[in-house]
Structure 1
Amino acid sequence: MARFHRITEALPAGQVQTWLGEIGSRLDAELEAVRRLATVGDSIEPSRFRLRLGPARRIAERLATAQQAFTDAVTQAAEIAEQVALDPTHNDVRVHLEVLGRQATQLAVAAPDAQEPEVPRRRWRRNAS
C-alpha cells in the first residue's frame, strides 16, 4: 500500500488525487482486514510447508486472491497517474478511477464465492479419573 500512497502523493493536487486518496483509505481498511485474517489462519495452522486443514487452506486461498487484488490496484493507480501526466484534461482518467473504485470495494476478504463443506469436528472426551 505504500506504493499506492506514493503514487497518489506524486499526482498534482486536484480531484484525481482526492479520489485516489479516498480509494487508498478504503484499501488501507481492507489491508487491516487481510492482516487479521492472516493472523487467524496462522493460529489455525502455521503455513510452513503445506496446509492440511480445510479452514487454513481456504484462508490461504483468500489471502492469495487479496494479494493479487492489491497488486492490481497499485497497477491501476500507476496507469491513472500516467494518464494524468499524459493528458492534463483527464478525459480517460474517470474510467480508470471507476474501475479502481469497483476493485477496491470488491477487494474485501468477505465470504468466498463457493463454500466447501466444513469437516465435522471430533469431540474430545475427558477420561473419568
Structure 2
Amino acid sequence: MSSTRRSSKPKIEDKHESHVESAKAAGLHYVCDDGPGLHRKRAGKGFSYTGTDGKAIKDKKTLDRIKSLVIPPAYKNVWICPDERGHIQATGLDERGRKQYRYHPKWREVRDETKFT
C-alpha cells in the first residue's frame, strides 16, 4: 500500500510574502542585505562608518542608531541598513564565518507573536 504525503511546508514564495506582510504589519520595510548599505571599518580602537555614497557618517542620530544595534566588534563584512525602518538592521560574519543578523525590535516582536500560534 503506497501513500502519498503532501508537504505541509509553505512554498518559498509564500514565505517571502508572509515576511513582507509581517514587516508591513510592524510598520517596517522588508529589506535585503544585498542592496546598498552603510559599512563599518576599523579605525584605531573603534570603528568608522561610511554611507551608501562612501562618505563618512557624522550624523549623530544615525551613529546613535548604529551603536544601539550593539554589533559585536569581531563581526566582519558588516552591512547596516540605511533605512531605520528596515526589518533587518545589520548583518555580519562572526568569527566562524557564519552570517549573523540584527533585526529591528518591532520585527522580532511581530515574528515572535506569530511563531507560536
Looking at both structures, which has the greater relative contact order when contacts are Cα pairs under 8 Å and sequence separation is at least 6? 1
Counting helix residues as a fraction of each chain, which structure ranks higher?
Answer: 1
Structure of greater Rg: 1
